[in-house]
């Protein structure tokens, strides 16, 4: 095996964000850029020599090139075996599944998730540890520290591996096994959900529309929903993964999944609609002319979990990210389940799930999953909803959600994103909030009395690690909240996220349009942060 030691110099800014390192493709294509980052991982990890790694990505532009580079570097760094998805494909939840099932040491997932792809789009890479989940902060910090001093990387001088043919090959002293990207994942889904009940549901004429948005979930949805469960042909739309996602923005929300939204809000809509994102970990759930907020989705699934075979015994607990609405907290309260509040990003759920403290976890950003893997899982959420609907014949998605509100109350909830802001202006705005919000305690803002104002800090209940400055919160006496934070996944300027929530126990007031129900708080949120004056933006770019 011919190992080359290539000399290099550190690149600035290789610090992983909320979910790995995300940059423009042009940045990743600079000579040595990807190699440096990957070498920093090998240098900071302990125990990968001779071990098994998993590799795959969402199929976006540069996915294949990056996969070949990582394979050559893995061989040079002494990795024993790499399981790689055919075509260098693996959805994020499938990568997590494969790592766990094959007891791999860890894995690299190539994805920039919901960010646009193509030569002018974004690329990304994240490292997952042996539990199948995103590397916690102590690992990402160590890898980042290493990027700042790196002066060489190791790579073998070997031809490309044929990643389209299933089976084993050698690359230097390392074994490369090309695996079916769908098989292990589909088998896991079959173990959790009542596939027979789902087949019966489709035989009864139940119609769905699943929008894969030309991203990675297409082959998974096709294999599971249409081939195994018998959903009518054509139930999966935009099912062929494309390197640029067909020019779209593979983010399953009401703005970007507009084709699905038109179908579900049009005449003769199917009973159920769903979409997933670039790497398959997000989901949006819709009923016939009805949108389910991700926070409500988590709460409804938690309240009804025992209807699903894999969760018949009940949940150990639930967890949500801090900005996610408190809808699931109410379910936990009533069912007597522990409920955890973590910072934004799936990596914070891993310890809770490993310790058996949380079974269902969710984020307001269209992420829901359980401890079957250690990532959020779009198709899992879709199958969970379908399983509930199969157990509640005659009830629509809207019926289920309205009944849920009636029982637990409704958390009106919305997120307002201000994208592409000047970074300095956005940082100043956050600094202003950090300085002023603690002083608001006890004050009355347009009829809302402030209970607390702080910057969210988290101490992991399992390993005691601390994460500071995870979002500025203004919490009112009636439980309403405004949360501000800057995105850690963008690649251009800064994105300010403002999360607004109000609880409404009274069922006769559950029919208000969300933005109207939150109008007072939205005005307070804009005023407190001086958004227009500081950013020049009168309105958000995306409302979810």
Q: For residue 279, state whether it binds Co ion (rule: CB under 5 A).
A: yes
As annotated, the active-site residues are 113
| Smaller CB separation from ligand VG1, 35 or 277 | 277
Nearer to Co ion, 35 or 277 (CB): 277
58 binds, among Co ion, ligand VG1, none (CB under 5 to 8 A by kind): none
As a residue count, the chain comes to 544
Range in contact with ligand VG1 (rule: CB under 6 A) among 163-171, 344-352, 425-433, 518-526: 344-352
- Which among 544, 275, 271, 257 is positioned nearest to 419, based on CA atoms? 544
Render 219-273 in DSSP notation, one character per residue. HHHIIIIIIIT-PPTTSEES-S--TTGGGS----STTT-HHHHHHHTSTT--SEE
Residue 282 sits in the site that holds ligand VG1 (CB under 6 A): yes
Interface residue with ligand VG1, options 43, 58, 137, 281 (CB under 6 A): 281
Residue list 117-176, contact with ligand VG1 (CB under 6 A): none
Rg (C-alpha) for the chain, rounded Å, is 23
For Cα atoms 421, 426, 428, give the angle at the middle one, nearest 5 degrees.
150
**Region near ligand VG1 per CB under 6 A, out of 38-46, 255-263, 362-370, 394-402:** 362-370
CA dihedral sign of residues 334, 339, 343, 349: negative
Judged by beta carbon distances under 5 to 8 A according to partner kind, the member of ligand VG1, Co ion, none in contact with residue 476 is none
Name the segment binding Co ion (CB under 5 A); options: 110-118, 168-176, 335-343, 422-430.
110-118
**Is 281 one of the binding residues for Co ion (CB under 5 A)?**
yes
Name the residue nearer to ligand VG1 (CB basis): 282 or 330.
282
Q: Give the orientation angle of helix 378-391 with respect to helix 195-203, to 10 degrees.
A: 70
344 binds ligand VG1 (CB under 6 A): yes
Kindly indicate which of the ranges 64-72, 75-83, 216-224, 485-493 contains the residues binding ligand VG1, using the contact rule CB under 6 A.
485-493
- Residue 342: contacted member of ligand VG1, Co ion, none (CB under 5 to 8 Å, by partner type): none
Question: 528 and 455 in contact (C-beta within 8 Å)?
Answer: no
Question: Which whole-number Å values give the CA distances from 517 to 477, 503, 522, in the listed order?
Answer: 17, 10, 10
Counting Cα atoms < 13 Å in the Cβ hemisphere of 136 gives 17
Q: E-assigned strands of 133-202?
A: 152-156, 167-171, 174-179
Judged by CB under 6 A, the number of residues near ligand VG1 is 18
Measured at the CA of 519, the angle between CA 513 and CA 524, to 5 degrees, comes to 155
- Got the DSSP string for 407-422? HH-EEEEEEEEEEEE-
Binding span for Co ion by CB under 5 A among 109-117, 205-213, 224-232, 387-395:
109-117
Rounded to an integer, what distance in angstroms lies between the CA atom of residue 405 and that of residue 384? 19
User: Is residue 346 involved in binding ligand VG1 (CB under 6 A)?
Assistant: yes
- Is 60 a residue that touches ligand VG1 (CB under 6 A)? no
Please state the φ and ψ torsions of residue 383, each to the nearest 5 degrees: -65, -35
The residue among 284 and 518 lying less far from Co ion, judged by its C-beta, is: 284
277 is a site residue for Co ion (CB under 5 A): yes
148-160 burial string, b = 16+ CB within 10 Å, else e?
eebeebbbbebee
Q: What is the largest CA-CA distance in the chain?
A: 73
Stretch that binds Co ion, among 280-288, 308-316, 450-458, 492-500 (CB under 5 A): 280-288
Which of Co ion, ligand VG1, none lies near 184, with the C-beta cut-off 5 to 8 A by kind? none
Could you say whether residue 113 binds ligand VG1 (CB under 6 A)? yes
Is the Cβ of residue 85 or residue 124 nearer to ligand VG1 in the bound state? 124
Q: Which is nearer to ligand VG1, 140 or 321 (CB)?
A: 321
261-280 positions binding ligand VG1, by CB under 6 A: 277
Tell which one of 133, 317, 345, 540 touches ligand VG1 (CB under 6 A): 345
Q: Compute the distance between CA of residue 534 and CA of residue 484 in angstroms, rounded to an integer.
A: 14
Which residue of 64, 72, 114, 416 would you call a contact of ligand VG1, by CB under 6 A? 114
User: Which of residues 20 and 87 has its CB atom nearest to Co ion in the complex?
Assistant: 20
User: Site for ligand VG1 (CB under 6 A): which residue of 23, 100, 374, 497?
Assistant: 497
Of residues 77 and 342, the one with the C-beta less far from ligand VG1: 342
Contacts of 337 (CB under 8 A, 6+ apart): 302, 315, 316, 317, 318, 331
The rounded distance, in Å, linking the Cα atoms of 239 and 223 is: 11
Closer to ligand VG1 by CB, 113 or 467: give it.
113
- The dihedral region occupied by 451, where left means phi > 0, alpha psi between -120 and 50, and beta the remainder, is alpha
89 or 229, CB closer to ligand VG1? 89
Provide the 10 A C-beta neighbour count for residue 435: 9
> To the nearest whole angstrom, how small is the minimum distance from the Cβ of residue 361 to ligand VG1?
11
Of 72, 45, 35, nearest to 129 by C-alpha is 45
The answer to whether the beta carbons of residues 453 and 440 sit under 8 Å apart is: yes
Q: Least distance (Å) from ligand VG1 to the CB of residue 168? A: 30
Helix axes 378-391, 92-101, angle to 10 degrees: 90
Residues 15-34 interacting with ligand VG1 (rule: CB under 6 A): 18-19
Q: Which stretch binds ligand VG1 (CB under 6 A): 157-165, 190-198, 450-458, 483-491?
A: 483-491
Residue 544 contacts which entry, Co ion, ligand VG1, none (Cβ below 5-8 A, type-dependent): none
Query: Which one of ligand VG1, Co ion, none is in contact with 295 (Cβ closer than 5 to 8 A by kind)?
Result: none
- Contact partner at residue 345 from ligand VG1, Co ion, none, CB < 5 to 8 Å by partner kind: ligand VG1
Site for Co ion, rule CB under 5 A:
113, 277, 279, 281-282
Site for ligand VG1, rule CB under 6 A:
18-19, 113-114, 277, 281-282, 321, 344-346, 363, 365, 367, 487-489, 497
């Amino acid at each position: 095996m011919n190992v080359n030691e290539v000399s290099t110099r550190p690149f600035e800014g290789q610090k992983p964000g909320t979910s790995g390192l995300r940059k423009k493709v042009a940045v990743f294509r600079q000579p040595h850029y990807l190699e440096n980052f990957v070498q920093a991982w090998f240098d900071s990890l302990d125990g990968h020599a001779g071990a098994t790694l998993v590799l795959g990505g969402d199929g976006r532009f540069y996915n294949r090139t990056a996969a070949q580079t990582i394979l050559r570097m893995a061989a040079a760094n002494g990795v024993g075996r790499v399981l790689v998805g055919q075509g260098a494909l693996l959805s994020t939840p499938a990568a997590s599944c494969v790592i766990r099932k094959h007891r791999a040491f860890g894995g690299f997932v190539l994805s920039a998730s919901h960010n646009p792809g193509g030569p002018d789009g974004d690329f990304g890479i994240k490292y997952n540890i042996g539990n199948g989940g995103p590397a916690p902060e102590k690992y990402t910090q160590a890898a980042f520290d290493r990027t700042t001093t790196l002066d060489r990387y190791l790579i073998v001088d070997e031809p490309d591996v044929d990643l389209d043919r299933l089976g084993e090959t050698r690359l230097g002293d390392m074994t490369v096994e090309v695996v079916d990207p769908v098989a292990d994942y589909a088998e896991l889904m079959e173990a959790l959900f009542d596939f027979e009940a789902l087949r019966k549901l489709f035989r009864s004429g139940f119609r769905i529309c699943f929008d894969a948005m030309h991203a990675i979930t297409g082959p998974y949805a096709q294999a599971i929903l249409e081939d195994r469960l018998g959903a009518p042909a054509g139930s999966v739309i935009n099912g062929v993964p494309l390197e640029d996602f067909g020019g779209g923005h593979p983010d399953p929300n009401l703005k970007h999944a507009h084709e699905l939204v038109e179908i579900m809000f049009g005449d003769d809509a199917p009973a159920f609609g769903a979409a997933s994102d670039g790497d398959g970990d997000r989901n949006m759930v819709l009923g016939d002319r009805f949108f389910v907020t991700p926070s409500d989705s988590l709460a409804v699934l938690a309240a009804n979990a025992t209807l699903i075979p894999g969760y018949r015994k009940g949940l150990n607990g639930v967890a949500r990210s801090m900005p996610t609405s408190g809808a699931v907290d109410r379910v936990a309260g009533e069912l007597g389940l522990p409920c955890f509040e973590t910072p934004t990003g799936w990596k914070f759920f891993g310890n809770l799930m490993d310790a058996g403290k949380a079974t269902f976890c969710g984020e307001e950003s269209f992420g829901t999953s359980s401890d079957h893997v250690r990532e959020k899982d779009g198709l899992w959420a879709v199958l969970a909803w379908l399983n509930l609907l199969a157990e509640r014949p005659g009830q629509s998605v809207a019926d289920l959600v309205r009944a849920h509100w009636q029982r637990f109350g409704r958390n009106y909830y919305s997120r307002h994103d201000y994208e592409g802001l000047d970074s300095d202006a956005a940082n100043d705005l956050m600094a202003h909030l950090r300085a002023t919000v603690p002083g608001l305690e006890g004050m009355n803002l347009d009829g809302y009395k402030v209970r607390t104002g702080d910057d969210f800090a988290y101490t992991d209940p399992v390993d005691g690690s601390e994460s500071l400055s995870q979002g500025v919160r203004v919490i009112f006496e009636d439980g309403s909240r405004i949360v501000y934070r800057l995105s850690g996944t963008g690649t251009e300027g800064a994105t300010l996220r403002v999360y607004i929530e109000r609880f409404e126990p009274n069922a006769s007031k559950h029919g208000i349009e969300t933005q109207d129900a939150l109008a007072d708080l939205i005005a307070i949120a804009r005023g407190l942060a001086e958004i227009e004056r500081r950013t020049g933006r009168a309105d958000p770019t995306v409302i979810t």
